[in-house]
């Protein structure tokens, strides 16, 4: 998928544009939700002990990965659009 979206700069321009538009329209809806949950779990992590702390650490890692999965391809698709425009 990386190769089709932002990798080789050969073709797939319509797919890149569609993917970037999809992610840009999704970002305002999901980013506040992920930030809220990340901050909520980080605050709870400071008060937690034992297994609850480990569980919250895993959830925090999961929210960070969600952000990377959205923002990373968004950067790659937008970069490809910007460079080839």
Decide if 57 contacts 45 (C-beta within 8 A): yes
Query: With bands split at pLDDT 50, 70 and 90, how would you rate the model's confidence at 56?
Result: very high
Contacts of 76 (CB under 8 A, 6+ apart): 2, 5, 6
Domain count, the chain: 1
The alpha carbon dihedral of 6, 8, 62, 60 has a sign of negative
| Domain boundaries, position 36 | 2-84
Residue 52 CA to residue 81 CA, distance in Å, equals 44
Encode pLDDT of 58-77 as tens digits: 999 998 888 888 888 778 77
Encode pLDDT of 15-40 as tens digits: 666 777 777 888 888 889 888 999 99
Residue 35 CA to residue 67 CA, distance in Å, equals 9
pTM: 0.64
């Amino acid at each position: 998928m990386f190769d089709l979206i932002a990798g080789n700069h050969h073709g797939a321009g319509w797919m890149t544009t569609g993917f970037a538009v999809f992610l840009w329209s999704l970002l305002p809806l999901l980013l506040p939700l992920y930030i809220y949950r990340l901050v909520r779990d980080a605050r709870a992590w400071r008060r937690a002990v034992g297994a609850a702390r480990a569980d919250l650490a895993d959830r925090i890692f999961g929210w960070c990965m969600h952000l990377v999965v959205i923002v990373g391809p968004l950067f790659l698709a937008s970069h490809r659009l910007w460079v080839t425009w």
